[in-house]
Amino acid sequence: MRLGAMIRRVFGNQNSGNALAESLNKQISKLTLEDAALRFTFTDGTKIQLTDMGQSCCESRYMRTDDDPSYYVGAILLDAEIKEVPNGPDESYIGGEHEVQFLEIKTDKGSFTCACHNEHNGYYGGFAIEASKIE
């Protein structure tokens, strides 16, 4: 499912969907992944971030990638897609869970994947990936 469609359908956040939609087909001039935020700067000076905004009590949320984001500088952003994966137990909490959701970023230089992690006590959980404009 496309990220923009997912955001609008699940969260009803039109600003988030619009932030992503307005960034498609733009050339990336800077791309970083810090903690739980994937940040894009485009050659026209606009910036967005994709981040999991669903933090609740007793959760640890973060993003990781094995890919090199700097390789995609100069690429055109084409799409973003969320992919579900099976979840497993988290040994750091009694009865805890470790959820993972993939965020695939598609560019004209190929695709890369970020793994969005949510470690929690089993009561909370889920993901709320949002796109937002940043200064």
- Give the C-alpha separation, 103 to 108, whole Å: 17
More confident position, 25 or 11:
25
Signed CA dihedral, 23, 28, 29, 35: sign only: positive
- Give the C-alpha separation, 65 to 13, whole Å: 26
Q: Which pLDDT tens digit goes with each residue over 39-50?
A: 999 999 999 998
Give residue 58's pLDDT: 64
Identify the domain containing residue 88 by its residue range.
3-133
Average confidence (pLDDT) over 48-54: 79
Which phi and psi (to 5°) does residue 2 adopt?
Answer: -65, 145
Instruction: Provide the domain count of the chain.
Output: 1
Give residue 83's pLDDT: 83
Q: Which pLDDT tens digit goes with each residue over 87-123?
A: 655 555 556 777 788 889 999 999 999 988 777 766 6
